[in-house]
Structure 1
Amino acid sequence: MIKSLNFKLAAFALLAAVSAVVDARAQEQLRSPSDYLGYELGSKWTPHHRVMDYIRHVADHSSLVSVKKYGESNEGREMLLAFVSSREHMDRLEEIRRNNLKRTGLTEGAPAADSPAIVWLSYNVHGNEPSSSEAAMKTLYELARPGNRDARRWLRDAVVVIDPMLNPDGRQRYIQWYRQTAGELPNIHPEAREHHEPWPGGRTNHYYFDLNRDWAWLTQHESRVRVAEFQRWMPHIHVDFHEQSYEAPYYFAPAAEPFHHAITDWQHDFQYTIGKNHAAYFNKNNWLYFTREVFDLFYPSYGDTYPMFNGAIGMTYEQGGHSRAGLGILKTEGDTLTLKDRLTHHVTTGLSTVEVSARHAEEIIEEFSNYYRKSNREPTGKYKTFVIKGSNNPDKLEALFELLDRHQVAYGKAKKEQSLTGYNYTTGKEERFQLRRDDYLVSAYQPKSILARIFFEPRPELEDSVTYDITAWEQHYAFGLEGYAMTKKVEVASFEGPVKEVAGLRTEKPYAYLARWQDTQDIKMLADLLRKEVDVRHARRAFVLDGEQYAAGTLIITRTNNRTLGGRFDRLVQDIAARHRQQLMPVETGFVKSGADFGSSSVRHIAKPRVALLSGRSTSPNRVGEVWHFFDQQINYPLTLLRTDYFDDVDLHNYDVLVLPAGSGSQMLDEQQLQKVKAWVSAGGKLIALGGANKMLVDRDDFSLASRALPSDTSKVEIDTFGAQQRQRISDFNAGSIFKVRMDSTHPLAFGYDSHYFSLKLNSDAYKFLDEGWNVGVTGEESHMSGFAGYKAKERLKNTLVFGVQRMGSGSIVYLVDNPLFRAFWHNGKLLFGNAVFMVGQ
């Protein structure tokens, strides 16, 4: 037995010695980014595939690094994570991950005490802020480099996760343009063409979405795969590397006010600890920097705030540069900013973050644990239970629950029926209501307590009204759901099974099939039916048939109008409905009890619209992307993008619908082009103006849209001070808040809605009611519900047009003053846009 044990020990020692030799040889072969790429890092842009190759090279030649592919971009470019730590930690990486989840309560079990801090570094979420991916390679090398004693010391107390490129498609778009544009040597003069990126730019992803505003809403593929991996790890520190104007110094934490009240004192204070560490390095190198300005921590869908609301320390680091800086640019003060400067600053703050995190690892882990301990036992915030009524549309419920599932926010059903008091999201008042067993509950007593609060808090407290982004996003409003917020804790029963049950059909060959018109899923089914050449009609008036009430907008698919489909008709329609999990109601007659019979002129054919979208110079890439994504990814319906630079040559008679996105106002279409559009509308076309695009049409000949000015107040004279100018201006500013809009549900633009709609209003642009046309959605005297709007803006926005339709000749113009597709997360607005495309003007 002793000989056997000695043999095993000797064998183990030999194996360890061999492993050490192999590891040493691999380490010797580890090359710096410059050696591997064949050029000095910072002298050229590194394309996506070579960045990925280098990440893998480091993993292949260092036992301190491993790589995981976690997804692909829309255009098929791979997305990688690199994990860096000590040999000891790397050998038990999965154990560390699971142990950390135990601290949150998302995984059962008691966490071990000896855990490292988990530091996550994210690079290049904006594609044309590209220095950070270059910095990612250098940062990874420095952490893995043999002989880097500082890094070895840090990695004993930290696991570092590096995502070198969050937006591969946008970055490659920028890099490819720059390489095609620049000469052998960079031209540092700001007016050179290489400093003026063309439309749409590389900032956004394939669909022109800003991924840094999508962390919470997860509308984009890249966001979903990234956040899924984030949820698997739940890091303690997260840094999002960015760039700003090339004239600006470096920005790092601490962030600016306002901080959302859900952010803890420790999270706030530790940003100062990290910032002071960075400052020491910047002071030593005489680099300029600033803190506590511009970049606040309120809107929840950023790469700094989203980690904050998941218990981490989230931070944005901003290097001067952006797309205009290229490989080098001459600044106003006479200095030349180079790519090497930019990546060096990012490497410095990245390594400094690892250093300070390792130094405070024990404190970080303890505070992280406290964060989740309190979430489960003593949740913060006024409201402790959020109610989502079970009577809501099941498609909307499923869409909300899919989002909550992705964020691991728990929900369930009411355990018992009872009478309670809560904040009614619809009325904005505290009211008594009856809680029923089929109602859904989200309790604040759960690991993701703070995120639940962020999603459902009716009116987030805002200490400082000067903010960087929108100030309201509550999910009852976003999804069009009825419910309540309660200050009382209510017990939640576990919920299993689908929200929506789709019953089988009652007959094989009915007279017609009916389908209710209520949500985006209904648009998607309609789009599929039209693509398959199924004749679909819709009721312009409510009706009653077989004891069932059907609202205006109900889809009617008759057998007689689909004779060309022959024997395929029933199977085709039923298969399409099943694919979209929509309930068909087969009926044996077109004779209704009340309303219009199916042969009435009030039952209109839905023509298959040919839709075009204006894009290109002077349009906003983000706003173009919202429409493109809606058609291409959400309802799968054909869309043609037309560019402004050849719009003169476009025959608009090839299209039935033209969508105008927001952009540079009158610069989108000149007077001659606008006349062309008017002639097309008069001949039967439909123009949809989205959000800011309405500015191009306001107060123009033949357009009914007119601006509404705020009456001047001459009762009091105030002397403005220079230092207070920003705060004086915000009295007339609406930072993105929620308004209750009265809807005319008898108009096709409002089919599927009740008497009101909660709109995300993004500015203080105010328009009069249409003198000629239909005022389908309007504000009232007290319409503001949530978020910041200055007192002058609130006054201006009273009794104004939000959604309207004007006839022009044989065609129509749809004014959508508030953009219902904004960032694709305002789910309840999508039906409104679907109505504009498919219902209006039929």
Structure 2
Amino acid sequence: MRTLLHSFCFVFSFSVIAQDLKSPSEFLSYELGTQFTRHHEVVDYYQYVAETVPNRMQLIQYGKTNERRPLLVAYLSSAANMADLENIRQEHLKNTNGGGTPSKAIVWLSYNVHGNESVSTEASMQTLYDLLTDKSDYLENTVVIMDPCINPDGRDRYVNWYNQNKNTPNNADPNSKEHHEGWLTGRSNHYMFDLNRDWAWLTQVESQQRLKFFNKWLPHVHVDFHEQGVNNPYYFAPAAEPFHEVITDFQRDFQVTIGKNHAKYFDANGWFYFTKEVFDLLYPSYGDTYPTYNGGVGMTYEQGGSGRAGLGIVTRIGDTLTLKDRIAHHLTTGLSTVEVASKNAQRLNDEFKKFYQNKNFKYKSYVLQGDADKIDALTALLDQHQIEYGTADGATAKGLRYGNGKMGSIKISDPSLVVSTNQPKGTLVKVLFEPNAKLSDSVTYDITAWSLPFAYGLDATATTNLIQGSSYEKKTVNNSGLDPQAYAFLTDWSSMKDARFLAALLQKKIRVRYAQKPFVMDGKNYDRGTLIITRADNKNHPDFLGTLSTVANEHLILLTATSTGFVEGGKDFGSGYVQMVPDIKVAVLSGEPTSTLRFGEIWHFFEQQLHYPVAVIDSEYMRRVDLSEYDVLILPGGRGYQGFIDESKLSELKEWVGNGGKLIAMGGAIKGLTGEGGFGLKPTESKKDSAVNPQSYDASERDRIKGAITGAIFKTKVDTTHPLAYGYGDSYFSLKLGADAYQYMDSGTVVYLEEGYTEPIAGFAGSEAQGKIGNTLVFGVENRGRGSVIYMVDNPLFRGFWENGKLFFANALFMVD
């Protein structure tokens, strides 16, 4: 009797709450799908729900964006589960160590990682409401975590633009302005970074803050909601090949299980969809792959629409795709995902535990040696991923040497870093560190190589035996009490940490010299690029020693004092080969024809990595800017430079360079500087067969990739005597993103590919592309008058994660005269 009465009271209480809880449309005072909701209004609705049903929903702010918008996650489940939420989380995480007896499914739904793929945040509000009302039975054995908007800055940029430019009422004509965003789209975050490609690299504050919460849960299922082109039907799992080889049979099969459940609902509504195409599971930094490599079932769902769709748009076949349609589709797959997880909660728990057991990878440990600053930079990333590491010394390791791709032995010496797959995050370690990811299909959606040892410029060996490491101690320095009688203070130049130190000194008005030749001082060898900070150069600084000590300690730079400028070998400090680092004023071009992503990488580099001021000059008013006010002008990669840099602009740039300006041209920008009347760099001659064999229509895509390079790593040669290469050895592993190729220069060829060495060390490059890039430039410098042009065919700042390329860019700024 008591049980029946209790059940009745529960049902009555729930029905009252469900009745009282306002839907998004009721709360917002407009029908969902008839307007775009600004981020603060979305936050208001989530806060309202949390306050109305606090026993079944909890709202947490996990961070802020660059533009100070809140980042949120909502936990929702049954009242009983919410009261026991921390125990559920702890029991779930015990599965990563083979313990625990969890019984609840953990589902994480992520919305709007691309800001102008704006439907998903709208759909999240309705999904939240439905899960707490009509679909609340799914929550009896399931905890759902919802991030309503991963990218609030980008979303509000789009929504505000759309609200300002749309017709009233909205116009579905695809030619109307409301369907044509400008250059600064809402897709990316504040710094124009694609947050859906930053899960592993963690260059952005949104990613860094989100991952702290993600690692507290490691969900069984993670969905990343997206949009694609207007004319595409809906895409859902299962994904396309290639799947990374670490993905388990269960993870593959469960994608099919979920996909079939979605199809049931889409079939009933007559909605079109596709699976197993386009969107693969390889590149590790996506919202589907990263959760997968952490034991979950990660999936991307793609609705047709994106920034072009607005509130409604006429498609290619004459249908009108509305925001309401798009909401309905994302709502359906979101609810269907939770439904399938709820029905398979025990299976998800069992398979999650299996994922973290019995790893038998070929390579058991990765041993990394090299510059201590670069090792410290890598450990900072590993800490964010909760990847364990250690140090080893004196042992001998046998395995695959990354430098030459051959088996060999190394003597482990200090400093060294050992990262093993024998840990809970072992699968993620394999994916991020393996020398070359296995490709089951060469047609992929993204880059095919990313190995962290190459990215961080470290000598690595993948060992078949497990190397035991001891605790790794990070570097500390103390520069207090600098000798006031010292002639100069010295420090090496080998990493981005050194570049940040230099940038900070220049802004503190401390004058710095650098060595253009190696030298010996007090029995120690110093290489090219060594920073030399003399007392004489800074005699007028009001607090030279105090400022120098503070800045050096902040940047963990160990200074070495010397009592003389008379070197034991090499060039004395008064020599013409010891030059002053210029206090440069830098500008970067934005707007068309630059790529927003390529511009954003440079912008972020200056403000968040180098911490050095940069002026952003938009292409719309560049003609009105007096370039003589700037020492450096950077042209980011992009398309359409040939049309943008006309004869008049080219003449102006030549005059500015000749008068002492430094022009840095990256990627596609180089095309605007070459050709008749251009600067000195020349494209390679195309090699085409006179006879073209006919091919089938189906074979055309596979034939095209013969001429493509899909993000592969190449071993290049380096002229270490050139200022652009200070801090580097005689080889550099470059991430090449395309097959653009330029001839060697008569002088100033600094980094280059040799004929016969064009097979990638990792990743995919088509046979025709490999034939094109032999004997071609990667980075080079053309001297012209009193200035120079620096060509960067490959992008050393790509997505902010290719750490070992960044010193080339710093050299271009400070070392190349």
TM-score normalized by structure 2?
0.97
Q: Once the two structures are superposed, what CA deviation does each residue of 1:267-286 show, in whole Å capped at 9, x if it has no partner?
A: 11111110000000000000
1:385 aligns with 2:365: yes
The residue correspondences of 1:520-539 to structure 2 (distance < 5 A) are: 520-539=496-515
Q: Which moved more, 1:508-517 or 1:121-130?
A: 508-517
CA contact (8 A) 1:459 1:472 kept: yes
2:633 aligns with 658
Match of 1:463 among 433, 440, 447: 440
1:623 aligns with 598
| Structure 2 unpaired stretches of 5+ | none
CA contact (8 A) 1:127 1:167 kept: yes
1:338 aligns with 322
Cα offset for 1:506?
A: 6.5
Cα offset for 1:98?
A: 1.1
CA contact (8 A) 1:394 1:500 kept: no
Cα offset for 1:45?
A: 0.5
Q: Which moved more, 1:208-217 or 1:736-745?
A: 736-745
Partner secondary structure for residue 339 of structure 2 = helix
1:676 aligns with 652
1:814 aligns with 2:794: no
1:211 aligns with 195
Cα offset for 1:557?
A: 0.8
2:307 aligns with 323
Cα offset for 1:709?
A: 3.0
Match of 1:430 among 404, 407, 410: 407
Distance, in Å, in 1 between the alignment partners of 2:672 and 2:476 is: 43
2:70 aligns with 78
Which runs of 4 or more aligned residues in structure 1 lie more than 6 Å from their structure 2 counterparts after TM superposition? 13-24
Partner secondary structure for residue 373 of structure 1 = coil
CA contact (8 A) 2:650 2:673 kept: no
1:289 aligns with 2:266: no
Match of 2:338 among 344, 354, 378: 354
1:130 aligns with 2:80: no
CA contact (8 A) 2:389 2:472 kept: no
Match of 2:474 among 492, 498, 516: 498
1:140 aligns with 2:128: yes
Cα offset for 1:364?
A: 1.1
Match of 2:806 among 818, 824, 830: 830
CA contact (8 A) 1:539 1:604 kept: yes
2:643 aligns with 667
Distance, in Å, in 2 between the alignment partners of 1:42 and 1:17 is: 37
CA contact (8 A) 1:619 1:668 kept: no
1:588 aligns with 563
Partner secondary structure for residue 537 of structure 2 = helix
Cα offset for 1:342?
A: 0.3
2:252 aligns with 268
1:789 aligns with 765
Q: Once the two structures are superposed, what CA deviation does each residue of 1:197-223 show, in whole Å capped at 9, x if it has no partner?
A: 011100000000000000000000000
Match of 1:518 among 479, 489, 494: 494
Number of residue pairs matched?
812
User: What amino acid is the match of 1:806?
Assistant: E
User: What amino acid is the match of 1:678?
Assistant: K
Cα offset for 1:712?
A: 3.6
Match of 2:619 among 631, 635, 644: 644
Partner secondary structure for residue 241 of structure 1 = strand
Q: Which moved more, 1:232-241 or 1:433-442?
A: 433-442
Q: Which moved more, 1:718-727 or 1:201-210?
A: 718-727
CA contact (8 A) 1:505 1:586 kept: no
CA contact (8 A) 1:469 1:735 kept: yes
Q: Which moved more, 1:296-305 or 1:152-161?
A: 152-161
User: What amino acid is the match of 2:567?
Assistant: V
Distance, in Å, in 2 between the alignment partners of 1:792 and 1:331 is: 37
1:66 aligns with 2:58: yes
Quickly say closer, same or farther: Cα 1:505–1:786, change in 2 above 3 A.
Answer: farther
Q: Which moved more, 1:336-345 or 1:423-432?
A: 423-432
Partner secondary structure for residue 412 of structure 1 = coil
CA contact (8 A) 1:30 1:57 kept: no
Distance, in Å, in 2 between the alignment partners of 1:347 and 1:702 is: 54
2:231 aligns with 247
Partner secondary structure for residue 613 of structure 1 = strand
Q: Once the two structures are superposed, what CA deviation does each residue of 1:44-78 show, in whole Å capped at 9, x if it has no partner?
A: 00000000110111111123211111111110000
Q: Which moved more, 1:695-704 or 1:812-821?
A: 695-704
Distance, in Å, in 2 between the alignment partners of 1:602 and 1:186 is: 66
Match of 1:487 among 457, 464, 478: 464
Distance, in Å, in 2 between the alignment partners of 1:605 and 1:22 is: 76
Distance, in Å, in 2 between the alignment partners of 1:626 and 1:596 is: 37
Q: Which moved more, 1:665-674 or 1:575-584?
A: 665-674
Distance, in Å, in 2 between the alignment partners of 1:639 and 1:668 is: 22
Cα offset for 1:695?
A: 1.9
User: What amino acid is the match of 2:815?
Assistant: M
Percent identical among aligned pairs is: 49
Distance, in Å, in 2 between the alignment partners of 1:22 and 1:634 is: 54
Partner secondary structure for residue 722 of structure 1 = coil
Match of 1:735 among 685, 701, 710: 710
Partner secondary structure for residue 177 of structure 1 = helix
User: What amino acid is the match of 1:269?
Assistant: D
1:599 aligns with 2:574: yes
1:172 aligns with 2:149: no
Distance, in Å, in 1 between the alignment partners of 2:326 and 2:93 is: 35
1:720 aligns with 695
CA contact (8 A) 1:395 1:500 kept: no
Distance, in Å, in 1 between the alignment partners of 2:738 and 2:412 is: 37
Quickly say closer, same or farther: Cα 1:15–1:352, change in 2 above 3 A.
Answer: closer
Cα offset for 1:25?
A: 5.5
CA contact (8 A) 2:367 2:418 kept: yes
Cα offset for 1:707?
A: 1.0
Partner secondary structure for residue 369 of structure 1 = helix
The residue correspondences of 1:502-581 to structure 2 (distance < 5 A) are: 507-566=483-542, 568-581=543-556
Quickly say closer, same or farther: Cα 1:688–1:346, change in 2 above 3 A.
Answer: same
Cα offset for 1:693?
A: 1.4
| Structure 1 unpaired stretches of 5+ | 1-9
Distance, in Å, in 2 between the alignment partners of 1:103 and 1:494 is: 26
1:89 aligns with 2:93: no
The residue correspondences of 1:756-771 to structure 2 (distance < 5 A) are: 756-771=731-746
Distance, in Å, in 2 between the alignment partners of 1:604 and 1:55 is: 59
Q: Once the two structures are superposed, what CA deviation does each residue of 1:714-764 show, in whole Å capped at 9, x if it has no partner?
A: 6x8643221111111111110010011111111110000011111100001
Distance, in Å, in 2 between the alignment partners of 1:80 and 1:759 is: 37
Cα offset for 1:487?
A: 1.6
Partner secondary structure for residue 291 of structure 2 = helix
Match of 1:777 among 751, 754, 762: 751
1:421 aligns with 2:412: no
Distance, in Å, in 2 between the alignment partners of 1:438 and 1:726 is: 47
Quickly say closer, same or farther: Cα 1:24–1:278, change in 2 above 3 A.
Answer: closer
Q: Once the two structures are superposed, what CA deviation does each residue of 1:354-386 show, in whole Å capped at 9, x if it has no partner?
A: 001111111111111100022xxx333x21111
Quickly say closer, same or farther: Cα 1:130–1:28, change in 2 above 3 A.
Answer: same
Quickly say closer, same or farther: Cα 1:717–1:247, change in 2 above 3 A.
Answer: closer
1:6 aligns with none
TM-score normalized by structure 1?
0.94
CA contact (8 A) 1:397 1:499 kept: no
CA contact (8 A) 2:366 2:460 kept: yes
Distance, in Å, in 1 between the alignment partners of 2:615 and 2:11 is: 60
CA contact (8 A) 1:518 1:831 kept: yes
Q: Once the two structures are superposed, what CA deviation does each residue of 1:134-193 show, in whole Å capped at 9, x if it has no partner?
A: 000000000012xx2xx2321112111100000000000000011111132101100000
Partner secondary structure for residue 446 of structure 1 = coil
Cα offset for 1:19?
A: 10
